[in-house]
Structure 1
Amino acid sequence: MMAKLYRLLTADDTSEFCHKVSEALSKGWELYGDPAYGFDAANGVMRCAQAVTKDVPQDYSPDMKLGQQ
């Protein structure tokens, strides 16, 4: 059985965010929708978010470590 996994990657608006998304793409995750940006007033920085999905050949379990898939 196949499962579709979903992750929401977030980070400050720095190269760290781009590297996080690039790493996920290199592991077979696919972009899902547009990125989002917002101002984090408590920390005074812009924050980024990007949803990604991935089909895996196993049943979904809440115990899955999504970052290791």
Structure 2
Amino acid sequence: MTTLPPDNLPSYRLLTGPDDAQFCHRVSEALALGYVLYGSPAVTFNGERVIAAQAVIWPHSVAASHA
């Protein structure tokens, strides 16, 4: 695994969106690229639908921050 995320993606990403299959696919795609979950997911209700958020982080950035 490389030390940098692919495609100039940032080391930390906060994925947000309606709590639906598309959101779950976006999180799954980030995990497949090599990101790891960072913290617990969060949800809120915007008056119409549930909105979810999940942070992901590139694993080498975690090791670098603890060096």
TM-score (norm 1): 0.69
Q: Structure 1, residues 2-24: CA drift from partner, whole Å, max 9, x if none? A: 66810000110110111000000
State whether structure 2 residue 30 is matched by structure 1 residue 24. yes
Residue by residue, what CA displacement relative to the aligned partner does 1:3-59 show, whole Å, maximum 9, x if unpaired?
A: 681000011011011100000000001000000000012xx0000000000037xxx
Query: Which of structure 1's runs of 4+ aligned residues deviate more than 2 A?
Result: none
Higher fraction of helix: 2
Between the two proteins, the alignment pairs up a number of residues equal to: 53
CA RMSD of the aligned region, Å?
1.9
Counterpart for residue 14 of structure 1 = 20
How far apart are the structure 2 equivalents of 1:26 and 1:40?
29
Return the TM-score normalized by structure 2: 0.71
| Gaps in structure 1 of 5+ consecutive residues | 57-69
Identity %: 47
Q: Using CA pairs under 8 Å that are at least 6 residues apart, name the structure with larger relative contact order, 1 or 2.
A: 1
